[in-house]
Structure 1
Amino acid sequence: MAGQTQRTDRVQLPETPPTSTPVPRWATRAVWALFLLSLTLLATVGFGGAEWRLPGYVAVDGLTVVSWAIVTFVSGIVHSYSRRYMAGDSHLDRFFATIFGFTLVVMTVTAADHVVLFAASWLGMGLAMASLIGHDRDWNQARAAAGLARRYFLASGGLLAGSLALLAWSTGSTSITGILAQAGTLPPAVFGLAVGGIVLAAVVQSALFPFQGWLLSSMTAPTPASALMHAGFVNAGGILLTRFAPLVAADSTVMHLLVVVGAASALLGQALLLVQTDVKRKLGASTVAQMGFMILQCGLGFFAAAITHLILHGFYKAYLFLSSGATVTQTAPTEKSRDELGLGGVVVSLATALGGGALFVAITGKGAKLDAGLFLALVVVLTTLHAARDVLGQSKLSARGKLASLPLVVVVPIGVYGVLFNTISGLLSTVPTSSAPTELSVVHVALGGVFVAAYVAVELGWHRSSKRLYVTLLNRSQPAPETVLTSTEDYNES
């Protein structure tokens, strides 16, 4: 009002004193050095077509160097971010030692060719993540969350170790390369048990339905650890299935099972996301959905597409977690988040979505044939349709601004995705069965219909009109009670 002044004083938080221990500094430098090494190997091994092997023990191929580049980059960001975020923590050295050790173990998983080394590093990866989830051991809730996650990871490690032991015994080879070379000679019973164990290990590690409980209960982890978990750890399921693609893709029943589990997880994650108000739980539900899409792409036979998906998801989810504090302060509820678009808006949205799907098919060639690529193209169309509806529904933009924004929604993201997809496909060209599209089946058609119906239901707001459905989804998205911090005093005591 006129004649009144408004105070704009800001409270300056005290600078966090630099830590005296050298561990954070040296760990950060070391992980960035690993990133530079990974880029060098990516240029020579990935783009150069060369491979480096220690026969029977280590195999550095296209999948390895792509994974190394992504893992070390995300880990480097997390290390750098944590030097200030975790400053003053009473267990700072242990935290940095764990996240650096976790990085090394993940790199070992992607390069291991010996079954014992692979199984041991897989288990070590899970135990390191469980330690990060329960980093603050003064919290009963953190210890409970770590214990819950550890049980899941021990089960995943046990399933994988048992499967690898069975494969090694049946083939007489202790190397993954040797086992995959004899994939066609495995007895049906051995094949079923081994592949079933590998698939279950991937599903548990990626927090897919019905094993999403450990992820939704992991919110006691420090935010940098959560970023590393959601951007890297859960992606291990897709890397595992891609590494064992010759076995997994050999049976259409297994592939259809992956599609069903992936689709169920994607739909469940999206449904849980709709009813969440907590920032980190929304991100957790989103990760369940995105991992579902990743496993679904493996089930369609597009393993390179799954790796592309986990790369994009890893970058985006790491950013969202590390910026989650800003989201809390900048987000405020509004009475009306979307304008009524009318018939014209619906037509423009549909045209944009179909254009996005056509661009994806033109760039990648997926969906141009009567195979599982059509399902993948449908997912792209629905994703583009959702993005277009969001742009057109933004009340802050003028009608002309909304229409002008649509090319950015379609051309840039779809173009980037298509180019990255082709690049990753080229890098994985030496990896066995990196692309094995399955035939279009009744399962794909039925699930396509379910996806379309789910999209329509969300657009019509059916999840808000049914109290029973809302309560069911809200209950399903709750973490284990013993892992929930219910009092502010719990925070203050840490």
Structure 2
Amino acid sequence: MPTVLTRLTWCLFALSIGVLVWPPDPEWAGEAMLRVDGLTRLMAVVTTFVSGIVHSFSRRYMAGAKRLNAFYGRLFGLTLIVLLLTAANHLVLFAAAWTAMGWVLADLIGHVRGWPQAQAASWYARRFFLGGSALLASALGLLGIRAGTWTIDGTLAAVEGLSTPLVGGAAALLLLAAMVQSALVPFHRWLLSSMTTPTPVSAFMHAGLVNAGGVLLARFAPVVFELPAVMLSIVLVGGVSALLGQAWVLVQTDVKRQLGASTVAQMGFMVLQCGLGFIPAALAHLLLHGLYKAYLFLASGSVVEHTQPEPGDRPSPSVLGGAVTLVTALAGGALFATLTGKSLTALDSGTLLTVFVVLAVLHATRTLVHRPSLSRTVRLWLVPGVLLPTIALYAGVYTAVGALLAGLPGAVAPTAFTPLHGGLVVIFVLAYLAIDRGWHRTSTRLYVALLNTSQPVSTTLLHNRDQYNAY
């Protein structure tokens, strides 16, 4: 079964590439149950590629494990469910696929039946998934009944004629369902408690399945973008998760939990981009983060080591290093704005997106400039030569995804700059300064607060190595 299902997954990937290059007949795309649009084709390629890698990796990683056929059956079934979810054009079918996705994922989290911690993590995640499914079903039920149609296309077309309280309530329910699935604050503990999951499942989960919250917001963009208050709420919850997730990364002591906290931060930033009205930017982020996070999880075993930082490990900052960092960040933001058509003068959500790109490049450049393993010449002069082409690549992916999603309703809906946006920028800048100055290391109270708020459920924790080695 592992061999057969691995080959079938790669066949699905080849088929998805074919559908991406040669789209199906547009007339077929309007069927009542299924349709294939740009979002479907993009997610099919991402899902099947990551799933194929995970299937192939698992043939070695899971060799000799108990219930191997059950593992592969659920992994392949989960791939099919995600494909069905992205192609569903019926509200009931979409809700059913969403529920099935959570149920099968919870089974994979608890794959090791004799491991109490794995079973506790599975049950804890299942409760979150069932709650998220109930929220989604309620939102879709409200929309379907009031719109008088049960197709997604028909419902989205009827949104403008629905009452404001109904649309606002449905959008709030959809946002909550997306937050649960993408493990945003305060629903993050199910993800941080799932570290007993087999590493291949962690790769698939962090690279693809938690992204379903962004897919949900993208699919129902006309609903969540209808009211400015909802879009501001999306920006707020995304920003909070991005900041806290990044702060939690700094205090983790094991590799997988660092990656889990990083996923919370990245999902927050993805949702924030949705709130700014740029679905293509969110999905480009989803694509690149998914591939990178899958690699990090599958390679996590090779980077585990017991080390103690030495006082001289961190190079002291210099004026030249600070100048290189600042210039590279500003050049990266200008390059991104130029290649994606964002204005640097008009204050809107596009400008805000560019500011966040500048901060991201600033953080990445600072990290590389202060890396002791690189020589001074490399750190100061080759860093811009690496990061600026990376920004150009990101802008290219963003543009390509935008072209692919051109027919998606409400894919781009820039909003006006508000005091909330300005306050969020100030908080992000302060957070960058806090990381740069190492406040989490100098303040015991802050360190303990971050550590406590990022703790998984106690019943999922391993207390000694024998518990791990036994399974």
TM-score range, shorter chain: over 0.9
- 1:138-162 CA-to-partner distances (Å, cap 9, x unmatched) read 0111111000000000001111011
| Cα distance in 1 between the residues matched to 2:322 and 2:445 | 29
| Cα distance in 1 between the residues matched to 2:348 and 2:42 | 27
- Please tell me the residue identity of whatever aligns with 1:353: A
| Deviation for aligned residue 1:457 | 1.1
Does 2:55 correspond to 1:79?
Answer: yes
- Please tell me the residue identity of whatever aligns with 1:94: A
Work out whether residues 168 and 230 of structure 2, in 8 Å CA contact, stay in contact via their aligned partners in 1.
Answer: no
* 1:43 aligned to which of 15, 21, 37: 21
Work out whether residues 328 and 388 of structure 2, in 8 Å CA contact, stay in contact via their aligned partners in 1.
Answer: no
- The residue number in structure 1 matching 2:385 is 408
- The residue number in structure 2 matching 1:10 is none
**Aligned-residue CA RMSD (Å):** 1.4
- 1:293-332 CA-to-partner distances (Å, cap 9, x unmatched) read 0000000000110000000000000000000000114976
| Cα distance in 2 between the residues matched to 1:375 and 1:330 | 40
- The residue number in structure 2 matching 1:208 is 184
Does 2:266 correspond to 1:290?
Answer: yes
- Please tell me the residue identity of whatever aligns with 1:449: V
Does 2:311 correspond to 1:358?
Answer: no
| Cα distance in 1 between the residues matched to 2:427 and 2:106 | 35
Alignment length, in residue pairs?
470
* 2:172 aligned to which of 184, 196, 221: 196
Does 2:397 correspond to 1:394?
Answer: no
The TM-score with structure 1 as length reference comes to 0.93
- 1:16-75 CA-to-partner distances (Å, cap 9, x unmatched) read xxxxxxx10010000000000000000122xx9957426211110000000000000000
- The residue number in structure 2 matching 1:226 is 202
Does 2:236 correspond to 1:263?
Answer: no
- The residue number in structure 2 matching 1:137 is 113
- The residue number in structure 2 matching 1:417 is 394
| Cα distance in 1 between the residues matched to 2:278 and 2:187 | 24
3-state SS, counterpart of residue 35 of structure 2: strand
| Deviation for aligned residue 1:354 | 0.4
Does 2:426 correspond to 1:449?
Answer: yes
- The residue number in structure 2 matching 1:437 is 414
The TM-score with structure 2 as length reference comes to 0.97
- The residue number in structure 1 matching 2:8 is 30
- The residue number in structure 1 matching 2:253 is 277
| Cα distance in 1 between the residues matched to 2:172 and 2:437 | 39
| Deviation for aligned residue 1:487 | 2.4
* 1:301 aligned to which of 266, 277, 281: 277
- The residue number in structure 2 matching 1:64 is 40
* 2:350 aligned to which of 373, 376, 392: 373
| Deviation for aligned residue 1:404 | 2.7
Work out whether residues 355 and 410 of structure 1, in 8 Å CA contact, stay in contact via their aligned partners in 2.
Answer: no
The worse-fitting range, judged by mean Cα deviation, of 342-351 and 199-208 is: 342-351
Work out whether residues 143 and 170 of structure 2, in 8 Å CA contact, stay in contact via their aligned partners in 1.
Answer: yes
| Cα distance in 1 between the residues matched to 2:298 and 2:307 | 16
| Deviation for aligned residue 1:344 | 2.1
Work out whether residues 367 and 376 of structure 1, in 8 Å CA contact, stay in contact via their aligned partners in 2.
Answer: no
* 1:253 aligned to which of 229, 243, 247: 229
| Deviation for aligned residue 1:407 | 2.6
Change (3 A) 1:81 1:449: same
- Please tell me the residue identity of whatever aligns with 1:357: G
* 1:104 aligned to which of 76, 80, 86: 80
- The residue number in structure 1 matching 2:98 is 122
| Cα distance in 2 between the residues matched to 1:191 and 1:401 | 53
| Cα distance in 2 between the residues matched to 1:238 and 1:52 | 25
- The residue number in structure 2 matching 1:318 is 294
Percent sequence identity over aligned pairs? 51
- 1:336-367 CA-to-partner distances (Å, cap 9, x unmatched) read 34211222221221111101111101111124
| Deviation for aligned residue 1:250 | 0.8
Work out whether residues 391 and 405 of structure 1, in 8 Å CA contact, stay in contact via their aligned partners in 2.
Answer: no
| Cα distance in 1 between the residues matched to 2:133 and 2:284 | 25
- Please tell me the residue identity of whatever aligns with 2:8: A
- Please tell me the residue identity of whatever aligns with 1:74: V
- Please tell me the residue identity of whatever aligns with 1:471: V
| Cα distance in 2 between the residues matched to 1:171 and 1:324 | 48
| Cα distance in 2 between the residues matched to 1:326 and 1:493 | 21
Larger Rg: 1
| Deviation for aligned residue 1:130 | 0.3
- Please tell me the residue identity of whatever aligns with 1:294: M
3-state SS, counterpart of residue 295 of structure 2: helix
| Deviation for aligned residue 1:126 | 0.5
| Cα distance in 2 between the residues matched to 1:408 and 1:236 | 34
- Please tell me the residue identity of whatever aligns with 2:13: F
The worse-fitting range, judged by mean Cα deviation, of 408-417 and 176-185 is: 408-417
- The residue number in structure 2 matching 1:5 is none
Work out whether residues 321 and 380 of structure 2, in 8 Å CA contact, stay in contact via their aligned partners in 1.
Answer: no
- Please tell me the residue identity of whatever aligns with 1:476: T
| Cα distance in 2 between the residues matched to 1:261 and 1:371 | 19
The worse-fitting range, judged by mean Cα deviation, of 432-441 and 408-417 is: 408-417
Structure 1, unaligned runs of 5 or more:
1-22
Work out whether residues 44 and 50 of structure 1, in 8 Å CA contact, stay in contact via their aligned partners in 2.
Answer: no
- Please tell me the residue identity of whatever aligns with 2:213: G
* 1:489 aligned to which of 445, 456, 466: 466
- 1:60-119 CA-to-partner distances (Å, cap 9, x unmatched) read 000000000000000000000001111111100000000100000000110001111000
3-state SS, counterpart of residue 58 of structure 1: coil
Does 2:404 correspond to 1:427?
Answer: yes
